[in-house]
Amino acid sequence: MRRLLTTLVLTAWALTAQAEVRTEDVRYQIKDEEFTGYLAYDDALDDKRPGVLVVHEWWGLSDYERRRARMLAELGYVAFAVDMYGSGKHTDDPDQAKTWYDMVTTDIDWWRERAMKGIEILRRQTHVDATDIAAIGYCFGGGTVLQLAYGGADVDGVVSFHGVLPAADDQALAKIRTKLLVLHASQDPFVPADMVARFQQKLDLGDVDWQLVTYGGARHSFTVPEADKRGMEALRYDADADRRSWHTMQQFFEEIFAD
């Protein structure tokens, strides 16, 4: 019996040792412009699994979102961090970030199209169950996944982390087909209380399954450890809010992918 148990333990260890999160850059085109996203998955899982889109902050696709994609892969999902600005467009300059942000968000259809391209790429992946798709986003990315919902995207759920909260208009309310989870900072100066109230009021007018969780004392970018280094009073990392929000997202995924 002892020899059998030892064999089983060694076999399990060997399988674990062989498991690895694989990552790759994915280049693609939208209207002759090149974009570069980031794919992450665990190669130890042979069956098809849910896919999760990751949308970056307004600084552009960075190592932060790539790390989140790997964390999702470690949970058993296939994650694709979409590029919303174009290959190589990442900055630490808030003025440059605002320029790119405005370029994308001024045209809502164009905004949604860039995000939907990421969903299309995710659905084509070999290990992805195309019927089980979610999207998460940070800051600008949080607003982006809400815009996906407002545009009627056929996904199971979207999660906004310290995101901008555009209110849904009447047409958007009629199109929402997915569940919404909003993880918000109570001291986020970019999303003041009146904006939050309008966001909630509009959703209550429609037949929408939505949740809003507010973290007391947290500021914008509360999930980003590097936020404190930017020298902006509005930004601050909050380890408790980071941990709790990630756990809440996992519970949300367990719910939406169980259907």
In DSSP notation, the chain reads -HHHHHHHHHHHHHHHHH--EEEEEEEEEETTEEEEEEEEEETT--S-EEEEEEE--TT-S-HHHHHHHHHHHHTT-EEEEE-SS-TT---S-HHHHHHHHHHHHTSHHHHHHHHHHHHHHHHTSTTEEEEEEEEEEETHHHHHHHHHHHTT---SEEEEES---PPP-HHHHHH--SEEEEEEETT-TTS-HHHHHHHHHHHHTS---EEEEEETT--BTTT-GGGGGG--TTB---HHHHHHHHHHHHHHHHHHTT-
Structure tokens given for 60: 């552009």
Q: CA–CA distance from 235 to each of 66, 188, 210, 238 (Å)?
A: 20, 8, 26, 10
d(CA 186, CA 167) in angstroms, rounded, equals 18
Q: Supply 161's token pair.
A: 């982390």
Question: What is the pLDDT, as a whole number, of residue 224?
Answer: 97
Give per-residue pLDDT as tens, 95-135.
999 999 999 999 999 999 999 999 999 999 999 999 999 99
- The predicted structure's pLDDT at residue 230: 87
Confidence grade of residue 259 (pLDDT, cut at 50, 70, 90):
low
- Provide the CA 246 distance to its chain's centre, in angstroms: 11
Please tell me the predicted confidence (pLDDT) of residue 204.
95
Give pLDDT, residue 44. 87
Choose the weakest-confidence range: 15-24, 198-207, 213-222. 15-24
CA 95 to chain centre: 24
Structural domains of the chain in order of their starting residue, each with its CATH number: 21-256 (3.40.50.1820)
Give residue 45's pLDDT.
80
Residues in a beta bridge with 22 = 41
Averaged pLDDT for residues 179-204: 96
Single-letter amino acid, residue 140: F
What is the model's pLDDT at position 46?
Answer: 82
pLDDT by residue (tens digit) across 40-94?
999 888 889 999 999 999 999 999 999 999 999 999 999 999 999 999 999 999 9
Asked whether residue 1 carries a pLDDT value surpassing 80, the answer given is no
Residue 170, pLDDT > 50, answer yes
**Mean pLDDT in residue range 164-183:** 95
